[in-house]
Amino acid sequence: MRAYLQLMRYGNCSMAAFAVAIGVLIAYNILKNGSIIFSYYDTGLVCLVGFLVTGGGNAINDYFDVDIDAINKPLRPIPSGQIKLLNALYFSLILFALGTLLAFVINPICGIIALFNSLLLIYYARTLKRTMLVGNIAVAYLTGSTFLFGGALFGLEGLEVLLVLFLLATFATVAREIVKDIEDIEGDKKDGASTLPIKLGVKSSAYIAASIGFIAVLLSPLPYLQSIIPSTTYLYIVALADVFFVIAAFEILVMNDAAKSSKLFKIAMAFALVSFLAGG
């Protein structure tokens, strides 16, 4: 059992479930003056779906990366022989199926998102992770969709109020993924990867990452301007997030410090989350 929990990377699964819970809380805080009713049971169920689908994604990723992990990470459950390759495949498919079925029990919107994300995780592990930029975008979407999935608990209204947070998370993650590729460029070259910095060069990739981060800054006032979040508290806190986005762009463009830039993007996203929670 322990080996299967390691295959799922249950720590990552827990973080995904927490992100879903954040999405639920933000959507509820914004919509609570209407006819929305908060349910601990439904919240727990939607978080469980996030946990299971993320676990399926981690397991299927290890299934396709078995040859690489045999060299780089031989202690993982599959290369170490704790779990047979075919059993890992079956386990991941069971997690995807169970998560998707539970999501459809919640409501059709949750079901569609869970099904789409499950298929995307399989396709990413098999193909997309080895492609230039498309893999970065897939990871960014999957990250942002955890918050969106929490909002989907409340139907279309929940999706609408979390759309900007989803876009912020997606753009910020794309920028950070590119920065991480810059940071890892030497190792990726040796591994034969085809990342954006390898194909276009470090400087061009840095400009692309900074530009995408700037889009996140431009989007940040929208919830207030559209009266989705009417509190000025949101503006004050999201302004801090914007400052960190700008500093992150400065670090990668001017200081050429990819590691520091990546950390700053994470901090910026954390402040963006706090701003949504505080302003709701």
* CATH number for 111: 1.10.357.140
Cα–Cα dist 214/133, whole Å: 18
Highest mean pLDDT among 91-105, 164-178, 181-195: 91-105
Q: Are 258 and 59 in contact (CB under 8 A)?
A: no
The dihedrals phi and psi of 78, each to the nearest 5 degrees, come to: -75, -55
Higher pLDDT, 34 or 185: 185
The dihedral through the CA atoms of 247, 252, 256, 262 has a sign that is: positive
For residues 140 and 42, state if they share a domain.
yes
Residue 119's CB is within 10 A of a number of other CB atoms, namely 12
Give the position of tokens 């929305």.
36
Tell me, what's the pLDDT at 187? 67
For residues 38 and 100, state if they share a domain.
yes
154, 172, 196: which is the final residue of a domain? 154
Report pLDDT digits (tens) over 2-49.
899 999 999 989 989 999 999 999 899 888 876 788 899 999 999 999
Give the position of tokens 């946990």.
51
Q: How far is CA 278 from CA 16, 78, 274, in A?
A: 21, 43, 6
For residues 186 and 138, state if they share a domain.
no
Pick from 43-52, 144-153, 229-238: least confident: 229-238
For residues 45 and 134, state if they share a domain.
yes
CATH of residue 204: 1.20.120.1780
Q: Are 56 and 118 in contact (CB under 8 A)?
A: yes
Report pLDDT digits (tens) over 64-87.
988 777 776 788 898 888 999 999
Tell me, what's the pLDDT at 272? 86
Domain contains 61? yes
105, 126, 154: which is the final residue of a domain? 154
Q: What is the pTM of this model?
A: 0.88
Higher pLDDT, 33 or 194: 194
Mean of the per-residue pLDDT values of the chain:
90
Q: Provide the domain limits for residue 88.
A: 1-154
Q: Are 83 and 3 in contact (CB under 8 A)?
A: yes
Cα–Cα dist 22/47, whole Å: 10
Write the DSSP symbol of residue 38: -
Percent of the chain with pLDDT over 90: 61
The dihedral through the CA atoms of 152, 155, 158, 163 has a sign that is: positive
Q: How far is CA 261 from CA 166, 167, 182, 201, in A?
A: 21, 20, 11, 17
Tell me, what's the pLDDT at 238? 93
Tell me, rounded to whole angstroms, the distance of Cα 160 from its chain centroid: 18
Report pLDDT digits (tens) over 258-275.
989 989 998 998 888 888
Cα–Cα dist 117/124, whole Å: 10
Q: How confident is the model at residue 191 (pLDDT cuts 50, 70, 90)?
A: low
Domain contains 159? no
Q: Fill in the amino acid letter for 204.
A: S
Tell me, what's the pLDDT at 67? 79
Higher pLDDT, 74 or 208: 208
The dihedral through the CA atoms of 4, 100, 130, 172 has a sign that is: negative
